Chains A and B, each alone.
Chain A
Amino acid sequence: MSPDEVDLTCSVGDLGLPNPVMTASGCAGGRELAPFLEVGDLGAFVTGSVTLDPCAGAAGPRLRETPSGVLHRTGLQNPGLQGFLTGELPWLAQRGAKTVVSIAAGTLGEYAELARRVGNSPGVRAVEVNLDRTARELPGRRFGDDPYQAGKVLAVVRRDVPRGIPVLAKLVWQPGLVDVARSVVKAGADAVVISGQVPGAAVDRSAPEPSVLSGTLSGPAVHAVAVQGVWQVHAAMPDVPVVGVGGVRTGWDAVELLLAGASAVQVGTAALHDPTAPLRVVEELRVELGTLGMGSVARAVGAAHGQGVSR
């Protein structure tokens, strides 16, 4: 099939998209990408996580290159809700971006306030809930670690985001992933974003004294983790839209996530390496689907299930 015949339009629940390639939260600003691509051409633009108050982020070092990956610990540096709503959101709206706003908080009350104010802002197409955050009342525990806590967050966010604005729950892979996914869907999440990111650490050899950076590992190194997570969640809940994120740098990487059950994908680390990568992935995806003889994205979603794949 010719790539030109492939229909890339797709939907994540009620969120209609021109193509299934979004940016991943935290790996893309708006203005930073503008010299290299039209943000309006992306399937969707997912913002860096916004917190209620401005956040200066973590002290350095924040970033280290590891084999096929990037280890990072930026501490969610962001301008805060007010700074985002007045500075970044209008710019994105003006550029025609399909903006998905990622929100992050330490308490249910903060999630609720973010949900209400972001959800009611013009130009917001969906809200992505970052659950990879420490719950202030449960030291050392992250909301996304636990089905009950994750469900509580999604319940307050879904309650305060207007109907018609989809709410996506972002989860990282862990042994209990499917249970957490069930819980957030039951609590009202319209879709689940599955990230392959894992904890990691690396030792700096250039520093005078050996120093360890402990943080989050992203990039091609974790792509298979994302495929696994998408596969599991789609198998358990075939009717729930899933977005896959982790190590996508080629069209085939994106197709792999679609076949495993994702309705859309996000590009993160690849955009750090090459800001033109997200739109290159779109074009490569078109060619890959054509080669597979799949005329639409919908045809590919979950197509690898039921084909006798061994666990």
Chain B
Amino acid sequence: MTAARPGPVRVDGEMLAVKRTAGYVHLTVVAPGVAERFRPGSFVALAVGGPLSDRCLRRGFPIYRVRASGTYGGTVEVVAEPDEPGTRWLAGRPAGSPVDVLGPLGRPFALPKEPVSCVLVGERRGCAPLFPLAERLRERGCAVHMLLGAADERSLFGTLEARRAARTVMVATEDGSVGMRGGVVDVLPDLLVRTGADVVYASGSFPMLHAAARAAERHGAWSQTAVPAPDGCGTGLCLGCVLPVVGEDGLTRMVRACTEGPVFRGDRVRWDDVGTVPTDAWGAVTPEAAP
């Protein structure tokens, strides 16, 4: 065997298990080569519909867990929400059926060099990539505190596992059915103070990430925000998943969530301008030059 090449691979994988949890579907896929290259925060892009499919784009999922080797070879696990035909097709695959896997893709979470205090905040199934991250942080001697939230109990993910993964765990639901009543962003500022957080890692919707980045900045902590794994090509070819991000040089560029992300420094993303091309972005068309 040659040493693993860096970068992603495309492999003909195999569905090993499909497990339904309350609101989601937990997929385990045999995907040799992906596990070996995985770092927390990276994602996989799965093809849907089989070889004769009329679906031309892949579905992106943050990686929840990998096992580099086992009885079946390396496996990768993701948490899906069967809310559209492609994901429903995946969720309906029987064990043993082929799955076309591309990964691991994207830029992972940056890890601190020092054993600092970290708050990991996740929303809905966006919590999934925080678990392998927590493991790496603990290995580095970091104090790991988790804050998980969702609208209701059914949409929470990983609250039981969090008790093993983190030193302290807080849960917040909008309807108050579990833990504190409210959104994670309502709870976050206090938690940052209480834990003396140096770094905030966040994974969830754009509004939540925006609030988490803002809370981190106010507290004087770094933030690493993982935007939702994009559907599309996953490789950077299609330019479908761009968002405005400020570079080291202070210039705003339209960068791809799949290639330059999905993890960004929270203070670099222009959250209010996501979905637009700001007029001061590099290469933005000025009104008089518009075709």
Contact = CB atoms under 8 A, between A and B. Distances in A.
A273 B59 CA distance: 10
B237 A272 contact: yes
Interface residues of A, number: 47
A72 B242 CA distance: 13
B180 interface: no
Nearest to B10: A276
Contact of A77 (B8, B86, B231, B254): B254
Contacts of A60: 242, 275-276
Interface in B9-48: 9-10, 47
Interface string B214-253: 0000000000000000011101111111100000000001
Interface residues of B, number: 38
A32 B235 contact: yes
Given A56-B283, A59-B275, A271-B237, A36 B56 contact: no
A275 B291 CA distance: 32
A63 B57 contact: yes
Given A63-B238, A72-B238, A272 B285 contact: no
B56 A273 contact: yes
B242 A62 contact: yes
Contact of A33 (B47, B237, B239, B282): B237
A35 B5 CA distance: 9
Given A58-B277, A59-B276, A77-B242, A32 B56 contact: no
Nearest to A247: B56
Given A29-B237, A134-B291, A274-B10, A70 B57 contact: yes
A219 interface: yes
Contacts of A63: 57, 232, 238, 240-241
A32 B254 CA distance: 16
Contacts of B259: 32
A304 B21 CA distance: 55
Interface in A258-287: 269, 271-276
Interface string A11-50: 0000000000000000111011111100000000000000
Contacts of B254: 56-57, 77
A1 interface: no
Interface string A67-87: 111101011011110000000
A203 interface: no
Nearest to B230: A63
A77 B55 contact: no
Contact of B8 (A28, A35, A78, A273): A35
Contacts of A27: 237-238
A57 B277 contact: yes
A21 to B, nearest CB: 16
Contacts of B9: 35-36
Contacts of A5: none
11 contacts: A32-B237, A33-B237, A57-B239, A57-B242, A74-B239, A75-B285, A134-B291, A219-B56, A269-B56, A272-B237, A274-B102
Interface of A: 27-29, 31-36, 53-63, 65, 67-70, 72, 74-75, 77-80, 106, 133-134, 136, 139, 206, 219-220, 269, 271-276
For the complex of A and B, list the 9 residue pairs with the smallest distance between their C-beta atoms, beginning with the closest.
A63-B240, A54-B283, A35-B7, A56-B283, A272-B233, A32-B236, A134-B291, A68-B54, A65-B57
